[in-house]
Structures are given as structure tokens and as C-alpha cells.
Chains A and B, each alone.
Chain A
Amino acid sequence: MTIRNTRHSRWYLYIPLLIGLGLTVLPFVWMVSGAFKPQSEILSGEFTLLPENGTLRNFADLFTRVDFGSYFVNSVLVAVAVVLGNLIFCSMLGYALSKIEFPGRRALFAVVMTMLMVPTVVTFVPLFVLVTRMGLANTYGALILPFLATPLGVFIMRQFIREIPDSLIEAARLDGAGEFRIFFTIIIPLSGPALATLAILQFLSSWNEFLWPLVAAQTEDMYTLPVGIALISAGANTVNYGLLLAGATVIVLPILVLFLFLQRYFIQGISTTGLK
């Protein structure tokens, strides 16, 4: 009876929720449907959700006109490397900054926090100069190395690991476990939700990054997806909107898949921590 009552009294909550959902999803729907529209229909000035004269030409152009495959492979390689690097290095640093006593710990954390506040534009040119001086221009190293560990990732991991009880770590230490053992068998398994969050954030930022790969990649075979799509869809005086939207659709798909996949761990992680 009580359950029925709450359900009954709550149905109206779905109205604003549905409106919100509609507003959020609508641009995506329009993007996907635009990917199937010819240019004239996109520019016709009328808002239509479904294409009137659906076409696959945009996708055909996308996959045949350019070296789409190599852009895709580059994007995947870079994103995967960046995510793995962040998971490993940020969690290590997060552990050190929250659980190990060493001189200069607070100062080091202050440095991380400061880096978090420096806008990327400021470091953009110096970073590129640094990378070219290291002889890395136009290599995967240039696309990956500068982002292997990020201040945001260190901050997230430190804050999460801080909440893990010290007694667990002390018990392990009494049993004779070294720092690496503690890190890999206690800290990492308990940090699931934070690692999932970090993975999603870093994958997103690496996958969508535009300016850095544009500048760091000196030849077309090193371009990533966003750069490649900007290259083919926008000319000096025209924009091929269909091609652009088709490209955007293809770019979004892996992110959706990743999120759907990690979402399970996300929720699982949160519910288990809640039970403790």
C-alpha cells in the first residue's frame, strides 16, 4: 500500500525529467539524423528531426575520401595509452600523496594543485617547444607523453585513496607487505569507482582533444579523428555539414560504448563502498 502510494504520488516527477531528457538528447538526435541528410536539407532552414531524403553519402565520403582508418587508429592508440598512463601514474601518485609520509609531501601536493589551476593555453607553446626539442615532433610520443599523468587525475585519486582506512594498510604492513604489494593488492582493488571515473574523464578529454594533435602532428598520417574531420569537412568558404555530422556521430560512438561498459562498474563500485 505504501509503495503504491509513493509511486502514485511521484508520477508527475517524470514530466520535468522527460523534458530535461528531451532537451539533452535532442541535439544528439539531430546530429545523428543530420549525418544522413544531404547538404541542401541541412541548410533548408527548417527543423526536421528525420531526414526526408535519407542518404548514406556522408558516411561513404567519410570512409572513402580520406584516410579515415588511420585517423581512427591514431585516436584509439593515443586515448588508450593516455588512459592507461593516467590509471597507473595518477593512482601511484595519489597513493603516495595521501598515505606515505615523506618530506615535502605537502609541497608536492601544492604543486599538483597549482598545475590544476594553470590554463592549458598558457603552457601550450612551451610544451610544444619542449616536445620538439626532445625530437618528438610528429610522433606518437608527442601525442601521448605530455598527458600520461594529469593533475586532475592525481587530485581525484588522492582524494579517494585518502578515505581508505589506514588500519587496512597498517595490517598489511605488519604482515610484511611492501609498498608495491600494498598498492596493487589493497589500494587498486578498493579504488574501482575512482579509477572508472578517471578512465572516462581521460578517455573523453584525449578522444576529443583537438588543438594539441593539430599542432603536434605534422603530417596527415599522424592526425587524430577530430583533426581529420575538421580537415575534410570545412573548406575556406563552405562547410560540408553532412560530413561533419557523420564524423561527429562516428566520434561519439566509442564514447557511448565506453560509458555503457564502465557504467556497470561505476554503479557496482559505488554500491559496494556504500555497504561497508
Chain B
Amino acid sequence: MIIKKWATGLALVTAASLTLTACGRDAGGDTANAPSAPAAAIDDSPAKGEITVWAMGGEGDQLPKIGEAFQQANPEAKVTVTGVPWDDAPTKISTAIASGQTPDITLLNPDALATFVAAKGFAPVPAGLIDESGFDANAIAATKIDGTSYAVPLYVDTRTLFYRKDLAEKAGVSAPKSWDELNTFGAALKKAGAKDGLLLATGEAGFTHQVLLPYVWQAGGALTNADQTEFTLNTPQVIEGLAKYQSLVKDGVSSQTGTYEPWGSVEERLARGEIGSVVNGSWLIGPLKELLGDEFDQKIGIATVPAGPGGGVSWLSGGQLAVFADAKNPDGAWKFIRFISTPEQAAHFSELTADLPAVTAAWGVAGLDKDPAVAVFNDQLKSTATPPVIPTWAQLSSIIDGYGERLARGTVTPQDAAAGLQKDMSAVGLK
């Protein structure tokens, strides 16, 4: 769900920044940070100088507190965090890269990484900076382009099934474990009074693909082959996934025109009982507890997403920290990123923001495994997938959005949609 406007924002600025990158940045920066050149290791001496960070939203509000802790450990360093509005951050980052006038670090959405790396905006992660095995494996995979890592995961965002427990009890159904149970579950919730059995976002540019793709993965389908050289969309598995998505509308479980808009209204509608269930992220927990108070436990159930033939795979996104190629203080920047990636600091940051830490060891430190609601997310993280990290993703995802809407409206069959996706996405390409 995170930052849906990023796709459109990126598409607008990419062209401009790509063409200008060559003349916009001075030659020194280009040669010093040739892509995928092995970066020098970062030593253990204290960081020095000012470290400037761009961070968005609630993360931007809380990051200064980690900065203070960093300054205590590194008295000669100073961390300056500038808050950036989430929706428009891609424009700001792209323009900064194009002009060479960048801060040291930025927070970003994994979807956007490849675009900025293609514009030679980010420096590769120095060898040995972090222990990758301590992170969520898919979150690490989402930082790599052609085998080189360009960012360090800060938090992860995956989606689970939120449902109205009271309505389910009234209807005599329990949380669906498999695809077969999902449609009957949704239909039962609808009978028990919900307007939407399961809320599907059907026609939302920049977002529908995040709802549709997990069904493809759950069917055992994949967007590309293992080496990411070609699309593999016209396969029986993808067709099965698309058919599952379409069946939710066909069976009347989900509305043809379901929407998550206005942004932030999903929790309100779930609390009101207008929505019977929805697949959404952990950020829903806080607002729901606030809205429902003591009734939260009896009204809201959270479960891992129902499994299809390919398992109960859910969408994985999150936040990453990247260091700009033109950073003035790359040494300090990497040291700060290493600092926030320690389990203690990652746990502290998670407590401040309610984000799920990408550092696996931080879960125990933050006590997240003890909260039953959050523990479901921990389970779900064992089964996730991410879209390919490629610069064309903004265009590709909008193609998927379009087919998602047509599937929901019933104007295309899953077979034709799979063939169409293969053709249209191949025309855009993977590079």
C-alpha cells in the first residue's frame, strides 16, 4: 500500500533525469562511483562531520532520535534529518540526482531503487558493511541490481488478512487457510452484513498491481524467469492466479469498483463493518486499536493470507536507506546506516515508528514476537515475494493495474489477460 503515487511520480521524472544525468553531475563523481565497482570497506573509527538524511512521513519524524543516539557514540558527527513528503519524494530525489546536489542518505521505496540506480544516483553498499543473513532475505533481494546491493533495508511491509471476527463468528466461519475457503468466507461475511466480503482495489492506478500480483504468486506463477531475462506471464499458473482474482468479483465477494480511497479510510470502514475483510499492512493495527478500543480483540482477526497452490505468498515492500553517489560524507553515511541496522537501534526505531524491522534479530529485542497481532506478520514474512528490481517497473506496474481493472470488470478473460500482459510488458522490457 505504501506510497502509491510513487509509480506515477517516477514515470514523470525518469526521462528528464536520465537524459540530464550525464551533464548534470561533475565528472569526478562519475568516475569515483562507477556502477558495481567494489566499494571500499568502511572502518570502525568514529564517524565525523555532518550527515544529511532525507526521510519521509513518520520515519522522518522519528529518525532524529536515532541520530541523537548516533551522535552520542560518535561525538564528532552530526545527523541532520530533513522531512520530505512521501508522495512527492521521487521528484525531489530524481532532481537532486540529476543536479548532483544531494544529501548523503535517503529513505526510499524499493520499487524506485532501480530507477535511481539507472540514473547513477546511488553508491553500492561497501563490502562487509552489514551481515545480510541478519535481514529478511526478500528485503535484501530487493536491494540488489545485477548482484550489487545499492541500499540497506530499514523496515519491511507485508500484508495479512484483516477480518471482522464478530461477523465471521456470526456467520459460523473461521479465517480461511486456503483459496477454496476464501470465497465462501468472503460470501459469509457479506451475508453477515458487510458490504464487501473482501475489499479488492480494482481500479487504482499505482496500486491495483499490489493487490493482484500476490494471487499470481499464490498460484505458483512468476513475473519473470529466474535470471530476469524474460517475462513468464503467459503460463497456466499466472492464468490461474488472475482467474482467482477475477473469481472474487464474479462470486460477488468483492465489489467491482472496490477502492482503498480515500487513503486511510480502510481502517474506518473495517471498524464500521462496511468491509468484512481486507488484505493490508501492519499500519492498520494502531488506528484500529484507537478506533475500536477494548473491542479490538473481539472484533478484529488477523491471519496470514490464504494459500493457493503456490503457497500463501504476500506482497513485500518496505523502506530502504541508500547513500547518494554524490554524497559529501559517504563514510559517515554508511556508518550511520550500519548503526541503525544493529538489532538494538533497529528495535528502538521500530518502537518509535511501529514499523516492522527488516533486521530479523530486532524483532525479539523490540518484543514484537509477543504481540499476537504483530506475530501474524512475523509468520507472513516467511512467505513473501517482491516485484523485480528494474528501472521499468513504474511502467510495467501500470500495465498490470490496467489489466487488474479489466479483470474485475469482466471485460477480459484470465487467458487473454495473461497473453496481453506478456505482450505489453515484453514491449516495455526488463531494462
On A, residues with C-beta under 8 Å from B are 39-40, 43-45, 121-122, 124-126, 128-129, 132, 137, 210-211, 214-215, 218-220, 227, 230-231, 234-241
Contact = CB atoms under 8 A, between A and B. Distances in A.
B262 A237 contact: no
B86 A121 contact: no
Contacts of A215: 91-92, 95-96
B84 A231 contact: yes
B264 A238 contact: yes
Contacts of B269: 43, 45
Interface of B: 1-3, 12-13, 16-17, 20, 23-24, 56-60, 80, 82-88, 91-92, 94-96, 98-101, 103, 262-265, 268-269, 272, 274, 281, 283, 287, 291
A218 B98 CA distance: 14
Contacts of A39: 264
Given A125-B20, A230-B87, A241 B262 contact: yes
B83 A43 contact: no
Nearest to B282: A237
A211 to B, nearest CB: 6
B98 A231 contact: no
Contact of B287 (A45, A129, A236, A238): A238
Contact of B17 (A125, A239, A240): A125
Q: Lowest 3 A-B CB distances belong to which pairs?
A: A230-B85, A238-B264, A235-B57
A227 B2 CA distance: 20
B82 A219 contact: yes
Contacts of B16: 121-122, 124-125
B263 A129 contact: no
A39 B98 CA distance: 39
Given A129-B98, A234-B57, A241-B262, A218 B103 contact: yes
Contacts of A230: 85, 87-88
Given A40-B291, A129-B98, A231 B264 contact: no
A238 B263 contact: yes
Given A39-B264, A43-B268, A227-B85, 15 more contacts: A40-B268, A45-B274, A125-B17, A125-B99, A132-B99, A132-B101, A210-B88, A211-B91, A231-B85, A234-B86, A234-B263, A235-B57, A236-B57, A238-B264, A238-B283
Contacts of B80: 219
Question: Among A126, A218, A220, A237, which residue has the most Cβ atoms of chain B within 10 A?
Answer: A237
Question: Among A45, A234, A239, which residue has the most Cβ atoms of chain B within 10 A?
Answer: A234
B99 A236 contact: no
Contacts of A43: 262, 264-265, 268-269
A128 B91 CA distance: 12
A45 B272 CA distance: 11
Contacts, number: 102
26 contacts: A43-B262, A43-B269, A124-B16, A124-B95, A125-B17, A128-B98, A128-B99, A129-B100, A132-B101, A137-B101, A210-B88, A211-B91, A214-B84, A214-B88, A215-B91, A215-B96, A218-B101, A220-B83, A230-B85, A230-B87, A234-B86, A234-B263, A235-B57, A236-B58, A237-B281, A238-B263
Contacts of A237: 1-2, 263-264, 281, 283
Contacts of B96: 215
Nearest to B16: A125
Contacts of B281: 237
Contacts of B60: 231
Nearest to B93: A215
A147 B369 CA distance: 54
B83 A44 contact: no
Contacts of A132: 99-101
Contacts of B17: 125
A129 B99 contact: yes
Contacts of A121: 12, 16
Contacts of B95: 124-125, 128, 215
Nearest to A44: B268
Contacts of B1: 237
A211 B59 CA distance: 22
A235 B91 contact: no
B87 A220 contact: no
Nearest to A66: B83
Contacts of B56: 236
Given A237-B2, A238-B263, A238-B283, A214 B98 contact: no
Contacts of A240: 264
A56 B17 CA distance: 43
B360 to A, nearest CB: 22
A9 to B, nearest CB: 46
A43 B264 CA distance: 8
Contacts of B274: 45
A236 B263 CA distance: 10
Question: Among B2, B98, B99, which residue has the most Cβ atoms of chain A within 10 A?
Answer: B99
B58 A235 contact: yes
Nearest to B97: A125
Contacts of A210: 88
A117 B12 CA distance: 19
A109 to B, nearest CB: 29
Question: Among A124, A227, A236, which residue has the most Cβ atoms of chain B within 10 A?
Answer: A236
B16 to A, nearest CB: 5
B287 A125 contact: no
Contacts of A122: 16
Contact of B20 (A126, A218, A220, A241): A126
A232 B264 CA distance: 15
Given A125-B17, A132-B99, A236-B56, A218 B263 contact: no
Contacts of B91: 211, 214-215
A170 B230 CA distance: 75
Question: Among B12, B58, B101, which residue has the most Cβ atoms of chain A within 10 A?
Answer: B101
B21 to A, nearest CB: 10
A51 to B, nearest CB: 16
Contacts of B98: 125, 128-129
A107 to B, nearest CB: 28
B85 A236 contact: no
B20 A129 contact: yes
Question: Among A128, A218, A238, which residue has the most Cβ atoms of chain B within 10 A?
Answer: A238
A135 B3 CA distance: 32
